[in-house]
Amino acid sequence: MGDNRLISVSIDDETLGASGPDAEHERRVAIFDLIEENSFALPGHDRGPYALSLSQVERKLVFAIRDEAGEDVHTFIMSMGPFRGVIRDYFMICDSYYDAIRNQTPHQIEAIDMARRGIHNEGSELLAERLEGKVNVDFHTARRLFTLICALHAGQTR
């Protein structure tokens, strides 16, 4: 693996939104998958691989990036405003999905899951656009990062 990747990801427990077991599971899987396979490059920096710490300050997302030795490389703050609608929609469809798993037919579950993935993709594309110029990520990395952003935002939009 090259140096343009993440080797660790942490979420600040102080700002982690309240979440249930489904959201916790999604967050753990997203972190595991993100570490296993990702593309994360900082334009103008060649100090990777990187460690990422996500937190939230005054409803803004903080990306704190360090190199493998733990030295600060770059920190930037991103407004959550553009994400509010898609995150709200994502949480609503997730609630419908988890309810459907318990009460609906496989065909109905599949239809809701397709809608859930579509909204998740929309949020991932928005994230990749907002990261442009700060961090270069591929689509799969953006998807996993969007899941983590939703974990931070849980409890604030529900």
Show me where the domains of the chain are located. 6-153
CA dihedral over 74, 77, 82, 83, signed as positive or negative: positive
pLDDT value of position 74: 93
H helices present in 21-138, as ranges: 21-36, 84-103, 106-131
pLDDT (0 to 100) of residue 17: 58
What is the per-residue pLDDT for 12? 82
Closest to 41 in 3D by CA, of 138, 123, 130 = 138
What was the pLDDT predicted at 156? 53
DSSP 3-state assignment of 27?
helix
Looking at the predicted structure, is the pLDDT value of residue 31 above 60? Answer: yes
Dump pLDDT digits (tens) for 70-115: 999 999 999 999 999 999 999 999 899 989 999 999 999 999 999 9
Mean pLDDT of 58-76: 92
Give the pLDDT of residue 158: 43
pTM of the model: 0.86
pLDDT in tens, 121-153: 999 999 999 999 999 999 999 999 998 888 777
pLDDT over threshold 60, residue 155: no
CA dist 48 and 137 (Å) reads 14
Number of CB atoms found within 10 A of residue 104's CB = 15
- State the virtual CA torsion across 94, 85, 76, 12 in degrees, nearest 10: -40
Q: For the residues 7-32, what does the mean pLDDT come to?
A: 76
127 φ/ψ angles, rounded to the nearest 5 degrees: -60, -45
The pLDDT, as a whole number, for residue 103 is 92
Pairing of strands 50-57, 6-11: parallel
Select from 90, 65, 64 the least CA-distant residue to 3: 65
